[in-house]
Chains A and B, each alone.
Chain A
Amino acid sequence: MSEITATNKRARRKAEGRYGKVGKALNELDDRLGVAKGGRTFMDKIFPDHWSFMLGEIVLYSFVILMVTGVFLTFYFIPSSAIVTYHGAYLPLDGQKVTQAFSSTVNISFAVRGGLLMRQMHHWACDIFVGAMVVHMARVFFTGAFRKPRELNWNIGVTLLTLAITNGFLGYSLPDDLVSGTGIRIAYSIVLSIPFVGTYLAFFIFGGNFPGTSTIPRFYILHCLIVPLIIIGLVGAHLFLLVRQKHTQFPGEGRTEKNVVGSPMFPVFMAKTTGFLFIVGGFTALLSAFAQINPIWQFGPYDASRISYAVQPDWYMGFLDGALRIWPSWSFHSFGHTIPFEVLVPALILPGIIFTLAAAWPIIERLYTKDNEIHHLLDRPSDRPKRTAAGVSVLAFVTMLFIASSTDVIANFFHISLNTVLWLMRVTTILVPIIVYPITYKICKEMQAVHGAGKRKTPNIVSRTVEGEYVATPTPAYQDDRGHDLEATAVPTFIEVEPEEPNEGGVRTVDR
C-alpha cells in the first residue's frame, strides 16, 4: 500500500519537474515573458550591509505610508471653500460657519473610525519622509556617493527634496485651519514679491486676490495627484539608476571598485527590508498614537483677521521662516515701483542659491579636483576634509536659520528681549558657518592622523621582560576592519608638479 503511494508521489513529482508547481509556473511565465535569466540575476543582486544604507529605505517606506494613509484621507476630505455650518462630534465648534475643507477634516478626526490615526500618521510620515531624505542626502554627500557615475541620481534626489517640501506645504494648507491659512497668506505674499510678474503670478496661481475660493481645490489636485505622480516617477528613476549602477560600498576586506560585497536580494535583503517597512510603519503608528500633531480643532477655522501666537510651520519650512524673520527690512522703492527685497531675498533667492549649490555640487567638486574617475568605493568623511567642512558649514547655516524661526519662543523662554534674540540670530547665522568650517577641517585632519580611527579597538598584549620592563604590543586589527584605508591611486593629484627641466650645468635660462 505504502509502496504504491510512494511510487505515485515520485511519479507525480517527476511529471511536475524538479521544482514542483512553483517551477512549473515559473516555466510558463518564462515561456511568455522570458524572465528566467533576468529574474535570477535580480534574486542574486547583492546589497552591501551598512547601517547608513537604510536611511534611503526610511524615505521610501515613509512614502509608502504617505500614499496608503493619503488615499484613506481622500475618501473623507472635501476640498472646498464653500461655507457650511458645523454640526459634528466636536461640540466647541458646533454651529460655527466653517469651510467644508475644515469641517471635513474635523470629521475625519472625530467621526471617521480610525480617521484621527490616519491623519496623524499621514502628518508624521511626512515629517519623517523629509527628515530621512535630508539625512540620506547628508550620507550621500559626506561619503562622496554622488561622484561619477551617480551625478544624475544625486540631482534626481535634490529635485525629490524640493518636491517633497513643496508637497508637504500644499498638504499642510488643505485643512483650512487658522495656522494653514496664515501659511497660504505668507506664500501668497511671497509670490507677490517677485518683480515684474509677481502680482499676475499670484493671481493666476491662487485664482485671484487672496484668499479666493480656488486655492484649496487647486492645492488638493496638486497635492494628491500631480506632485505625487512626479515624485513616483522620480523615485522610480532613482531606484532604476541604483539597480543599473549597483550600490556603492565602503572600502573593506575583499571590496574593490569592481565588485559589490553583501547579502543577496532573495531572501536575506528581502526579509530585512520588508521587516524594516513594518518597523517604519509601526514606529509611525506608535508616534501617531501617543504624540498629537496638528490639532486643527484647537486652532479653529481660518479667519484672515485672526492669528495665533508661537505657531511654527512644519520643521522643513522652518529655515525659510527663520530667514524671513532675520533678514533686514531692505525694500526698494523707486521709479514708481517696489521690489520687496525683504521678502524676495530670504524666501526665494536664498533657498534658490542653497538648492542650486546642492544640485551643482558634483560639478563644482569635479572642477576643483579634476577627478573624472568612476567611483564605487565610498570615502570616509575625514579623508575629504574640505568637502566635509563645506557640507557641515552649509548644514550649520541652514540649522541656524531653522533656529531663527523660533525667535519669539526663545525670547519668551529665556526672558530676554526679542530684539536681542533677533540680533543674536543675525550675527550667529553668519558667524557659526564660518567658525564651523575650520573646526570641521581640523577635526578631519586630526582623525586622519590618529592611527586606527574609526576602527574597533584591539587589545594590547602586555608582557614583562626578564629585566622587569613592561612592554605593550598592539594586536592586529580585526579582520573586518582591515583595508578600510583608501587606496592612494583613486585620489586625484590636486597640485600638478611641473616636470623638472634638464638644466645645463651653470646656465640659467630665463623666460622673457
Chain B
Amino acid sequence: MSEREEHRAPVSLSGLSENDPHLLPLAKNPKTVEGVIAVNFVLGTLLTAAFGACYWINAKPWTLGATLGGGLFFFGVGLVAWGKYLMPRGPFVEERHTLANSEADRDAFAAAIVERGGNVMKRRKMLGGILAGGLGIFGVVAMFPVLRSLGPVPKGTLFHTDWRKGSYVVDQTGRRVSAGDLAVGSIVTVFPEGTENTDRGQVVDQTVLIRVSNQKFTTQKGRESWAPLGYVAYSKLCTHLGCPVGLYEQQLQLLVCPCHQSMFNVNNGAVPQFGPAPRPLPQLPLYIDSAGFLRAQADYNQPVGPGFWERA
C-alpha cells in the first residue's frame, strides 16, 4: 500500500508538520487534475467574455443565459474540484467544547437577573405597575391609527352590486343586449350599463347571461318571471373563492369554475352539482322592455361571491 492510500486518522490542524500526509492533495495525479481545472477556468472565462459580448450586441435572451450560466458553471466546477482534489485532504478534527457554563457561572447569571433585578422591581411595585400599564395602553392606542388607516370599513359593500331596477344589460364593449341577440345555448358575460369598464364592475357585477332551452329548464320557486325567453343570468363570481365561473359545458349545461372545479347546474338554479362551492350562484332577475332590450328587475337578492362572517 502506498503512502497515499494508507489509512489516515483525523488530526488537528494546529501543530501539523509541513510534510504531513494530511496536507497532501486527494488527487492521485495532481498534474492532470490541475489541467482539467485550468480547462474549466478557461472555458468559464471565455463564456463570461461571450456573455459580455452578447450583452453588448443585444443578442437574444437565451444567449445571455447560456453564456452567463455556462461561465458560472465552469468556474464553479473548477473551484469545487480545486477544493476537493488539490487542497489538503485531511481529515481534520476540531474539539467540540461544551456549550453549557459551570454551575457557578450559571448561578451568578441567574442571581444577577432574579435577585438584583427582582429586588428593584419588588421595592418599587407601584412604579413598575404604572409604567407597564401606561406602555400597554400606548401599545394598544398606537395600533388604532395603523390599523384603521389601512382601509375603509366594509359596511354594506359586500352585500350589494351595481345592478339596479331597470339596469340595461350590456356586454364587455358596452353594447346593450337585446332579446334577439343570443341563440339557444349561447353565453355572454354582461354588466350593468356603465360599469363594464370599471374595476368594481368587472369584479362584483360580472354576470353570465345564458340563453337556455325552455324544455329542460327548471324554474325555481319564486323566480317564475326572472328568465324571459330563456335568458337566464347568474353571478359570474364563484361562491367558493370568487374566481370567475368561466367555463360553460353546453352539453351538460354546467358552469365550471376553472380554479377549483366547482360545477353549477345552469338548468336548475345554478345549484352546485360538484366540487367545493357551497352555494348556488345568485340569479339576477331579468325582464325584456318594450324596445326589446334585456334589463334587470332588481339587484341580486343575496351577496355574490365567496362566503364571509356577516353573510346571513
Contacts and interface: CB of A to CB of B under 8 A. Distances in A.
B276 A324 contact: yes
Contact of B7 (A263, A278, A285, A479): A479
Nearest to A210: B203
A306 interface: yes
A286 B69 contact: yes
B150 A285 contact: no
A304 B244 contact: yes
A337 interface: yes
A331 B72 CA distance: 53
Interface stretch (B108-116, B129-137, B216-224, B257-265): B257-265
A158 B147 CA distance: 28
A325 B73 CA distance: 41
A207 B150 contact: yes
A190 B305 CA distance: 12
A279 interface: yes
A464 B262 CA distance: 74
Given A189-B305, A303-B202, A305-B202, A264 B258 contact: no
A204 B150 contact: yes
Interface in B238-278: 240-244, 246-247, 258-263, 272, 274-278
B102 to A, nearest CB: 16
Contacts of B138: none
Interface in A403-433: 407-408, 418-419, 422
Interface residues of B, number: 85
Nearest to B95: A259
Interface stretch (A109-117, A164-172, A452-460): A109-117
Interface in B131-171: 147, 150-154, 157-158
Contact of B243 (A193, A198, A307): A307
Contact of A263 (B61, B91, B307): B91
Contact of B88 (A245, A268, A275, A333): A268
Given A209-B158, A305-B172, A307-B259, A275 B309 contact: no
A342 to B, nearest CB: 5
B69 A288 contact: yes
A150 to B, nearest CB: 11
B91 A307 contact: no
A259 B94 contact: yes
A17 B247 CA distance: 80
A379 interface: no
Given A260-B94, A307-B243, A307-B258, A279 B73 contact: yes
Contacts of A93: none
A285 B65 contact: yes
A331 B307 contact: yes
B91 A275 contact: no
Contact of B14 (A44, A120, A212, A329): A44
Interface in A22-64: 44-46, 49
B108 to A, nearest CB: 21
A206 interface: yes
Contact of A199 (B96, B241, B242, B310): B310
Interface in B68-111: 68-84, 87-88, 90-96, 99
Given A199-B308, A254-B93, A305-B202, A290 B150 contact: no
Interface in A331-359: 331, 333, 336-340, 342-343
A285 B69 contact: yes
A192 interface: yes
A276 B150 CA distance: 44
B96 A203 contact: no
B233 interface: no
Given A278-B75, A289-B62, 15 more contacts: A116-B61, A121-B65, A186-B241, A199-B310, A214-B151, A259-B95, A259-B96, A276-B76, A282-B74, A286-B70, A287-B69, A290-B66, A324-B240, A324-B260, A337-B312
Interface of B: 7, 9-10, 13-14, 55, 58, 61-66, 68-84, 87-88, 90-96, 99, 147, 150-154, 157-158, 172, 189, 199-200, 202-204, 206, 236, 240-244, 246-247, 258-263, 272, 274-279, 305-312
10 contacts: A120-B65, A182-B259, A192-B306, A197-B309, A246-B94, A264-B92, A267-B83, A331-B278, A340-B308, A479-B7
